Amino acid sequence: MRASTTALSSVALACALLAASARPSDAQRTERPQLHGKHWIAVTGKPLGATAGAQIFQQGGNAVDASVAMLAAVCTMWDTLGCGGETQALIYHPGLKKVIGINALGVAPTGATAEFYKSKGMRFPPEFGPLAAVTPGTPGGMMVMLAEYGTMSLAQVLAPAIQMAEEGYAIEAQAANGMESNKARIKQWKYSAPVYLPHAGEAREAPSAGEIFKQPDLAATFRKLVQAEAAALKAKKSRKEAIYAAYDRFYKGDIADEIVRGMQEQGGLFTKADLANWQVKIEEPYSTNYRGIDVYKLPIWQQGPVLLQSLNILEHANLKGMGYNSAQYIHTIYQAMNLAYADRDFYYGDPYFPPEEPVAGLMSKAYAKARWDQMSHDRNDPGVRPGDPYAFQGGTNPFTDLLKRWSTTGPRSDSARRTASETPGEALDNSAFDEAFTKGTTSIQAADKNGWMVSITPSGGWIPAVIAGRTGIGLSQRAQSFVTDAEDGPYNVIEPGKRPRVTLTPTIALKDGEPWMAFSVQGGDTQDQDLLQFFLAMVEFGQTVQQAAEHPGFHSYQMRSSFGEHDARPGRLQLNERIPDWVRDDLRRRGYALEFAPRTSGPITAIWMDRKHGSLWGAASNFGEDYGISW
């Protein structure tokens, strides 16, 4: 009797501990303070970037004006992006009461064909260098957002970035050390070394943390844009027309001439027509409803619909009943994500190029229910495959043969593409894989009291980037996200003028037709994994926006990486160190290979609208250097 009582007490204690871990308390402490604002909030990847947004808000700008200022500032700071990268944005327009998508992703240049890269002995476009570049998108994205939805001039919103580039700013350790550690590669490119390595020939050639870092070429390029705007205003053009005059100078004028000259000199493929013909696209986002909340993502040229597909699958689960971060909860979300990501790897691509992606089928609730029914509910499925959404939109799949041959890890021609399960006893070196899989970017959130809300995930042109001539513009390395063989993704094969399928994924959510939250995160293929768990922590378990931003998350590596060798690690599961032993043991029994990290939320940034009190709540996770400011 005594032993039975002890056993029951132990079980009760374990259940109580599990229940406590499953119900995050409203009083749960966070490592960073919750931001509160009445008038506006600006959150981004670097504190100085948020300060640039605050300056614009204080001058009377709206959330679009502030977000453009932040974008220019973080480009200037090389916050895992350069000014020639790409910009993906969602904007809630309170006047129209709708969410608007901004597609400012560059395209493959003239001559960038699958055959070209294969002739160079490349299975995929390279990770770095002139042949990794797509046309610059961020400058166009900034100017279109400002012209169409902002209120201020280009001169006003570029002022903080111009000051930082011209007078210099105190560079932080992350960027400075990135320049130093990549200096061997940087020296391969004529115009990059003078920017990144101001102390050439010294033991440390990059700037040191806290050093005043100046970029006169970039400042001059920004000033040319302001000059074009000023000339147009002097000629009695409207605010919008003047901003588009600056746009034309960048993509069709002397700035474009120097970008093309500098890239061709360094072995790049850009032509003047590539820049002149490229355009920012204003798009209708995709959305789904989960537990009464409408979640919006950009179209299928980026991975954002993965979050929508995952939510459609998970609405068939009783996640709250499973308990927060229980083994069943983690397993269920992991499997749902893998199904959605498998569809991403096969079906996602540039919707402006044939073949047409099966969007209606992929986004349908009926297809999600079929995927739920196919899902493994007790053990990990390392062979998870894309589904066939064509049956759910009345069509026929044009790639049935490729679909039959598809595997999680793809066609493998060498030992580097083998998985741990195929090489018993052989420990794979995951360092290069992890660096590629979780490649960073930054994220920008801005909102104001008038209902404007902006979420941006800009990227590309990270250190080390090829700088285009004497423009100071570091160019995107995003061509590496293309494939060169249909068997690796028939909708994402590189062609001139085509956009690569990217990982960058801003998010806006509405409740009862009103803005509820803007959120995004950096981290490559982990982005929508982090955002899904963040969103569920709030919706299913009542966490505050800051608590959810610091959530003890988990990551799957079972999808193909969008970078490097496009490899995968089926069954590998990264957990937070706070996950208890009994959950770990349960997951191992389900077939997972576990690893642990102290911070696993990803660097989430978010703004939540508190409609009850008419206030704004902002969050930046404890993962990285992201930070915000509010008033």
pLDDT band at 467 (very low <50, low <70, confident <90, very high): very high
Give the rounded distance of the alpha carbon of 249 from its chain centre: 28
What one-character-per-residue DSSP string does 478-516 give?
A: GGGGSBSSGGG-TT-B--TTPPPPB----EEEEETTEEE
> Which alpha helices (DSSP H) does 253-392 contain, by range?
254-265, 272-277, 305-314, 319-322, 327-347, 359-363, 365-374
Peptide bond into 351 cis (omega under 30): no
Res 523: pLDDT: 86
Res 27: pLDDT: 52
Res 7: pLDDT: 37
Res 411: pLDDT: 63
Rounded Cα distance between 384 and 405, Å, is 13
CA distances from 299 to 90, 191, 286, 338, 502 (A): 11, 35, 6, 19, 11
Please state the φ and ψ torsions of residue 454, each to the nearest 5 degrees.
-135, 135
**182 in any annotated domain:** yes
Mapping DSSP to helix (H, G, I), strand (E, B) and coil, where does residue 628 land? strand
Other C-beta atoms lying within 10 Å of the C-beta of residue 377:
12
**179 in any annotated domain:** yes
Q: If DSSP states are collapsed to H, E and C, what string results for 304-342?
A: CHHHHHHHHHHCCCCHHHHCCCCHHHHHHHHHHHHHHHH
**186 in any annotated domain:** yes
Res 547: pLDDT: 96
Please state the φ and ψ torsions of residue 42, each to the nearest 5 degrees.
-130, 125
pLDDT over 70, % of the chain: 91
Rg, Å, the chain Cα set? 24
Q: How far does the chain reach from its first CA to its final CA, in angstroms?
A: 63
**306 in any annotated domain:** no
**184 in any annotated domain:** yes
Give the rounded distance of the alpha carbon of 165 from its chain centre: 25
How confident is the model over 167-213, as pLDDT tens digits? 999 999 999 999 999 999 999 999 999 999 999 999 999 999 999 99
Residue 102: pLDDT above 50?
A: yes
Residues ≥6 apart with Cβ < 8 Å to 252? 275, 276
CB 283 within 8 A of CB 351: no
Residue 407: pLDDT above 70?
A: yes
CB 618 within 8 A of CB 35: yes
Residue 4: pLDDT above 50?
A: no
Q: Is the dihedral of CA 74, 78, 82, 86 positive or negative?
A: negative
**188 in any annotated domain:** yes
Structure tokens at 572: 């590998």
Please state the φ and ψ torsions of residue 596, each to the nearest 5 degrees.
-135, 150
Please state the φ and ψ torsions of residue 493, each to the nearest 5 degrees.
-80, 135
Residue 190, amino acid: K
Number of domains the chain is built from: 1
**315 in any annotated domain:** no
Residue 466: pLDDT above 80?
A: yes
What one-character-per-residue DSSP string does 39-81 give?
A: SEEEEESSHHHHHHHHHHHHTT--HHHHHHHHHHHHHHTTSS-
Residue 421: pLDDT above 90?
A: no
Taking residues 388-398, report their average pLDDT: 97
Angle, vertex CA 584, rays to CA 327 and CA 13, nearest 5: 75
**546 in any annotated domain:** no
pTM over 0.85: yes
Structural domain harbouring 187: 169-213
pLDDT over 90, % of the chain: 87
CB 595 within 8 A of CB 615: no
Taking residues 18-31, report their average pLDDT: 56
Q: Is the dihedral of CA 152, 155, 158, 164 positive or negative?
A: negative
Exposed e or buried b per residue across 38-57, where buried means at least 16 C-beta atoms within 10 angstroms of its C-beta: eebbbbbbbebbbbbbbbbb
How confident is the model over 494-527, as pLDDT tens digits? 999 999 999 999 999 999 999 999 999 988 899 9
Residue 439: pLDDT above 70?
A: no
Residue 444, amino acid: I
